[in-house]
Amino acid sequence: MNGTPRILNRILLGILGAKLLLIGALLVLLATVPAVGRWWQGWSADLWGGLRGLFDRTRIPGQPVSWLWMVMVVLLLLVIGLMVAWLAQQGKGRANLLVAEDDAGPVTGNVRIGGGVAEQALRAALADRPDLAGATVATYEFEGEPALRIRIQPRQGVAPHTLAAELTALVEALDAVVGKRTPVLLHLGSGARSRFRRAERVR
């Protein structure tokens, strides 16, 4: 339902994590192993000398600067554009309206019900339940229509089918209030929060 590119995000995070791990291992070796420090000094000196020679050979005629700087600026702008495009894809698919209908009858007008109405109503109904460790509700656009995504974390020992039936009744009551049947994605999850959080007693 959410348009966030999760696979791409995981690949990028994996690459970033591997780079940080290699940099951290190199820093530890430089600080603890003298031979690695000597190798680094020689390698970095050779690399810096090669780069200076390359920039000297690629100077613009009549100018003291190299045309490689312009190439680096273009590449940097390209990287910035890709980062902006990547950020624009995060969280894509969220919807603001749950109901948007136009009335073409004798009295013209339109009806707009924000997704926050359904989200707050369902969260309030689920907030004080002792059989839930957490619940989140969000409105997304699915195949051009608004839909609700309900993610809950039941406590251990709670029957999933019973909980799903009760949530279905809540959603049907919401449909009766807004006057429209809304598609719903119900996600029953589990995690450390549902396993270790202390259950509240019902008095």
Do 126 and 183 fall within a single domain? yes
Contact of 113 with 182, CB cutoff 8 Å: no
Contact of 150 with 169, CB cutoff 8 Å: no
Supply 75's token pair: 């590449």
DSSP one-letter code for 99: E
- Alpha carbons within 13 A on the beta-carbon side of 111: 11
Supply 135's token pair: 């619940």
Predicted local distance difference test score (pLDDT) of residue 108 = 61
* DSSP β-ladder status, 109-114 and 132-142: unpaired
Please indicate, yes or no, if residue 105 is contained in any of the structural domains.
Answer: yes
Do 176 and 147 fall within a single domain? yes
CA–CA separation, 123 vs 132, rounded Å? 12
Domain extent at residue 80: 6-88
Could you tell me the pLDDT band of residue 196, with boundaries at 50, 70 and 90?
A: very low
DSSP one-letter code for 52: H
Domain containing residue 168: CATH number: 3.30.300.30
Is the overall model pTM greater than 0.85, yes or no?
no
Predicted local distance difference test score (pLDDT) of residue 75 = 95
Number of domains in the chain: 2
| Interval 18-67: pLDDT, tens | 999 999 999 999 989 999 888 988 888 888 888 888 888 888 888 888 88
Q: Return the biggest CA–CA distance within the chain.
A: 88
Higher pLDDT, 93 or 55: 55
Please indicate, yes or no, if residue 183 is contained in any of the structural domains.
Answer: yes
Do 72 and 19 fall within a single domain? yes
Query: Which residues is 138 bridged to in the sheet?
Result: 149
Do 192 and 101 fall within a single domain? yes
Could you tell me the pLDDT band of residue 14, with boundaries at 50, 70 and 90?
A: very high
CA–CA separation, 195 vs 197, rounded Å? 6
CA–CA separation, 176 vs 66, rounded Å? 70
Question: Residue 40: CB partners within 8 Å, gap ≥ 6?
Answer: 30
Question: 98-121 burial, b if ≥16 CB within 10 A, otherwise e?
Answer: bbeeeeeeeeeeeeebebebbbeb
| Interval 137-177: pLDDT, tens | 888 777 777 788 888 888 887 888 888 888 888 888 888 88
